Homo-oligomer: A and B are copies of this chain.
Amino acid sequence: MPKIVDHGARRAELARAMWRVVYRDGVGAATVRSIAAEAGWSPSALRHYFATQTELLVFAMEHVQAEAAERIAADDRTGGPREVAQRILEQLLPLDRQRVREAEVWLLLAARAQTDPAARTRMADADDGIRRAAEFAVALLTGQPAADPEAVARLHALLDGLALHALLYPERMPPARARELLGAHLDTLVAS
């Protein structure tokens, strides 16, 4: 077996090239050809590591999700439950330019999930991660070991709704307003 290439490393390299394109030119420029050019390969070379474009998008999203999970895990949990919960959940909102770009890819995958099973399963997995964060926050705020499923689901829907609004209508939902609304909702949880 000649020309042994570390597929994992090559896939990560291609994912990095994709994010460079997305950060620079937006999600609309994330074509197979442009990403291949960014990475210095021919478009066909990508097929050795990602059979389809959706696979590349999915892999790249897994990477940023892992980063978000790492940011959350790295939180030092200082301050009251209210502050900790807010800091953690804010990691899941597109509050800066980079995370806006990432949310754009998230929205693209959401639209693609209508027809593409690979995108669908990936979205479901990301959904799990957000739900777990919401569970953690609800349990933390209410002081209960088992979070109320209804409160979790409502917080989860609010989070995705805020993310969607911040993405689609940034002038109506600037980062400060998204933070403020999230905080208001958390206040209702701690009060109950």
Judged by a CB distance under 8 angstroms, whether A158 is at the interface is: yes
- Indicate if A184 sits at the interface (CB-CB under 8 A): yes
Q: Is the CB of A154 within 8 A of B114?
A: no
A window 99-157: CB within 8 A of B: 104, 107-108, 110-111, 113-115, 120, 123-124, 127, 150, 153-154, 156-157
Does A36 sit at the interface, judged by CB under 8 A? no
Q: Evaluate contact between A115 and B28: CB separation under 8 angstroms.
A: yes
| Residues in B neighbouring A13, C-beta threshold 8 A | none
Expressed in whole angstroms, the Cα–Cα distance for A38 and B38 within the complex equals: 41
Residue of B26, B127, B161, B169 near A115 (CB, 8 A) is: B26
Judge if A160 is at the interface, Cβ distance under 8 Å: yes
- Which has the most chain B C-beta neighbours within 10 Å: A150, A168, A169, A184? A168
Tell me, yes or no, whether A188 is within 8 Å of chain B by CB: yes
Chain B residues whose CB sits within 8 angstroms of the CB of A26 once the complex forms: 114-115
Q: Which residue of B107, B156, B168, B169 contacts A161 across the interface (Cβ within 8 Å)?
A: B156
In the assembled complex, the Cα of A113 lies from the Cα of B158 at a distance in Å of: 21
A150 CB, nearest partner CB in chain B, Å: 5
Give the bracket for the number of chain A residues in contact with chain B.
35 or more
Q: Determine if B161 and A110 form an interchain contact, defined as CB atoms under 8 angstroms apart.
A: no
Whole-angstrom distance between the alpha carbons of A158 and B172 in the complex? 16
- In the bound complex, residues from chain B placing their C-beta under 8 Å from that of A120 are 168
Judge whether A165 and B154 touch: CB under 8 Å: no
CB of A154 within 8 A of CB of B158, answer yes
Contacts of A160 in B (CB 8 A): 160-161, 164-165
Q: Cβ of A46 < 8 Å from any Cβ of B?
A: no
A94 to chain B, nearest CB (A): 12
